A and B are shown apart, each in its own frame.
Chain A
Amino acid sequence: MDLLHNLAFGFSHALTLQNLLFCAIGCTVGTLVGLLPGLGPLATISLLLPLTYSIPTNGALIMLAGIYYGAQYGDSVSAITMKIPHASSIVACIDGYQMTLKGKTGLALFTAGVSSFIGGTVAIVVLTFLAPSLGEVAFLFGPADYCALMLVGFVCVSFVTTGSLLNGMAMCLIGVLLGQIGTDVNSGVQRYTWDLPMLADGVGLVSVALGCFGIAEITKNLDSREERSPFNGTIKLMPTWAEFKRIIPSALRGSVVGSFLGILPGGGPVIAQFAAYALDKKVSKYRHEIGSGAIEGVAGQAAADEAAARTSFIPLMSIGIPENAVMALMMAAFVIKGIQPGPNMIAGHPDLFWGLVASMWVGNCFLLILNVPLVRYWLSVFKIPYSVLFPSILFFCCIGTYSVNNNLDDIFVTAAFGLGGYLFSRLDMDAAPLMLGFILGPMLEENFRRAMLLSRGSFSAFVTRPISATLIGLIAVFIVWQLAAFLLKARPQPQPA
């Protein structure tokens, strides 16, 4: 009953005209950035973060959340129609694009839209029930446990986003080091500031995010010199009853897989889509068709993608630890608004927590309308030439950076990180773990110093507490597994006689 009462309380906030408007803006912008190649939710949330200063807290967070889960709806569309995926819609390219080649674009888009709706709905139920309970568990965490949890996050995100633990960890550590720039809160010593007043408060989050994602992404797209051919085909959206019946089981399987993987550190839409696709290939009644344009190949992954995006809010809102780079930016948005996500948030700001949960139900309905009956209108977005699009993104980068402190000098910092981000991309190093390291770095240092102080300088604090010992054990197993895999791969193969 309490839960229903809380949900009703959340809806009383989410259904105000102002918050409905912010939810609609978030979902629309999210769908748009999901559609556009070279502009993901990470870059867009970075761009819009400074603009939310003048928006009320509830509305700002509802809008930013809408951008994230809205982008998961939209990204399937570009993958299905033009085989241009974002990280979280790579799998949609396989069967979705095959369906387009067979002239079933409309059916593929309908399947993706409806499956995303199902995935989103299941995930919100999980979020509603699980987040408050997990929040109570978070009270058991000490500084050493928080440190270990952050390290697990680093390891998982490093591996999932880059595929190479070594590269990903390197980027996390660079992020942590960048987070050290500025005044040390414990001693007041200015670190790595070179006596520049603009660095005394540290490097701006927006400058790092826009440089590494916005500017670097534009340059990468310009370098690739690929001319996109606009999609001009006509589509027939409505499926037959037999086709519709095939969507449901696969979407439900994907929802469960996505909801579970979204909660785990390093989880989220990227890994969930692959897991759901693999599961469908094993258990689906039509598994022999998957890979050559089957409905199940689109439904399961779209549902998992959307479900994982929603449940990835659970660790952030209940424990206060973001589990991927987008959630790290969401955490920054909370902090900017003066709210520390974590176990105290649900009790301290129930309007915010339950309002956000309720807005996800509302956003899900908005997105169903935007992505099923209105999807044909979104396809015209592909006709915008990149020569018009990229100066606009550049402009948003400038305004976004400037608006944080009304300081034009910050644009030079963004430009420097743009060069850094471009170098990272040329060196094949994904910047997402860097962002996580940058945001969690100060928190990691704070908890590490506190844990060491409490244990009088002994590292035993990390192995004597059950939570941190388990987490450190998991990291050790993962590293040994990675090392063994590398050595086995590097071992010379015996020549056949």
Chain B
Amino acid sequence: MIDRNLARGLFLAAIALAFGLGALRYPIGDFARAGAGLFPLMVSALLLLIALATLVRSRVVAGPRFEFNPVNIALLLSALCAFALVSRVLDMTAGIVAMVFISGFAGTAKYSIVRNLKVSVGLFLVALAFQKLLGLSLNLY
């Protein structure tokens, strides 16, 4: 595992370079008549400076380790994507059930099918209320 400050510096540098190099593809113009690329290029340059300062600082001051637990975030993102995909293929009620059952694996609580069913029913009722009372366009069935 790498130092958190170093990881932060690299991450910022990657974003700055991605946007900065991207800005070069657009007209730059000059300060009096700025093109579409000038402002993002200036902001990216500033961000790159901060990234370099962070990288230099990481060499001087030792920071804590960069820790990343992929399990919970992967489960939550899968639950979100499952909601979108199942809602498109079937309907949102099925989407809600898929989301609750997948997200239930995240965290430390014991997996419970009964609890997930109860939560799904509760959320379906909330969605129904949104549809009927607030007029949201939800394809629940």
Interface size on B, residues (CB 8 A): 71
CA distance A219 to B79 in the complex (A): 12
Q: Are A180 and B19 in contact (CB under 8 A)?
A: yes
Residue A243 CB within 8 A of the other chain: no
Given A170-B50, A222-B72, A223-B69, also A54-B80 (CB < 8 A)? no
Bound Cα distance A394, B68 (Å): 21
**Does the CB pair A166–B50 fall under 8 Å?**
yes
A398→B47 contact, CB < 8 A? no
Identify which of A189, A387, A445 contacts B107 (C-beta below 8 A). Answer: A387
* B53 / chain A contacts, CB cutoff of 8 Å: 166
Per-residue CB contact flags for chain B residues 102-134 toward chain A (1 = under 8 Å, else 0) read: 011011110010011001001100110010001
Chain B contacts of A408 at CB under 8 A?
A: 84, 87-88
Q: A452's contact among B34, B72, B87, B123, by CB below 8 Å, is which?
A: B34
Do A412 and B84 have beta carbons less than 8 Å apart?
yes
Asked if A187 and B137 make an inter-chain contact with CB atoms under 8 angstroms apart, the answer reads no
| Chain B residues positioned under 8 Å from A429 (CB to CB) | 8
Residue contact A189 to B26, C-beta cutoff 8 Å: yes
* A170 and B72 contact, CB distance less than 8 A: no
A191 to B23, CA, bound (A): 8
Find the residue from A174, A456, A459 having the highest chain B CB count within 10 A.
Answer: A174
Measured in the bound complex, the distance between the Cα atoms of B72 and A225 in whole Å is: 11
| B34 and A449 form a contact (CB under 8 A) | yes
Does the CB pair A169–B50 fall under 8 Å?
yes
DSSP class of B's interface residues: helix, strand, loop or mixed? helix
Q: Number of A interface residues, CB 8 Å? A: 64
Q: Is A196 an interface residue (CB 8 A)?
A: no
Contact B109 A387 (CB under 8 A): yes
Evaluate contact between B50 and A173: CB separation under 8 angstroms. Answer: yes
Given contacts A180-B19, A184-B36, contact A392 B123 (CB under 8 A): yes
Residue of B nearest to A437 (CB): B43
Which residues between 156 and 176 of chain A lie within 8 Å of chain B, taking CB atoms?
A: 166-167, 169-170, 173-174, 176
In the complex, A290→B39 CA distance in Å?
50
Bound form: Cα–Cα A27–B39 in Å: 41
A414→B80 contact, CB < 8 A: yes
Complex alpha-carbon distance, A215 and B76, angstroms: 8
Of A173, A191, A388, A422, most buried by chain B (CB within 10 Å of CB) is: A173
Chain B residues contacting A428 (CB-CB under 8 Å) are 4, 8
Mask for A370-406, Cβ within 8 A of B = 1, else 0?
A: 0000000000000001111011101101110011001
Q: A residues within 8 A CB of B46?
A: 173
Residue B62 interfacial (CB < 8 Å): no
- Chain B residues with CB below 8 A from A415, complex form: 77, 80-81
B90 at the A interface (CB under 8 A): no
Which residues does chain A contribute within 8 Å of B134, judged by CB atoms? Answer: 51, 54-55
Say yes or no: B80 contacts A411, CB within 8 Å: yes
Most buried by B among A54, A166, A391, A397: A391
* Residues of chain A in range 419-440 having any CB-CB distance to chain B below 8 Å: 419, 422-423, 426-429
Q: Which of B22, B54, B77 contacts A418 (CB 8 A)?
A: B77
Shortest Cβ distance from B133 into A: residue: A54
Q: Is the CB of B31 within 8 A of A427?
A: no
Residues of A within 8 A of B36 (CB): 184, 186-187, 189, 191
Name the B residues within 8 Å of A385 (CB-CB).
Answer: 109
Residues of A with C-beta under 8 A to B106:
219, 222, 390
Shortest CB distance A431–B (Å): 14
- A227 surroundings in chain B (CB, below 8 A): 108
Q: How far is the CA of A225 from the CA of B122 in the complex (A)?
A: 25
Smallest CB-CB separation from B131: which chain A residue? A399
CA distance A408 to B30 in the complex (A): 41
Residue numbers in A under 8 Å from B22 (CB-CB): 191-192
List the B side residues contacting A219 at CB < 8 Å.
72-73, 76, 106
CB neighbours (8 Å) of A173 from chain B are 43, 46-47, 50
In the complex, chain A residues whose CB is within 8 Å of the CB of B31:
452, 457-459
Known A180-B40, A391-B99, A448-B39: A386·B27 in contact at CB below 8 Å? no
| A17 CB–B CB distance under 8 Å | no
A196 to B96, CA, bound (A): 28
Q: Which residue of A is nearest B8, CB measured?
A: A427
Cross-chain pairs A/B with CB under 8 angstroms, 17 sampled: A51-B130, A51-B136, A177-B40, A191-B40, A219-B73, A222-B76, A386-B107, A387-B104, A392-B122, A394-B99, A395-B96, A395-B127, A402-B138, A406-B137, A418-B80, A457-B31, A459-B31
What 7 pairs between A and B have smallest CB-CB spacing? A457-B32, A457-B31, A387-B109, A189-B36, A411-B84, A184-B36, A222-B107
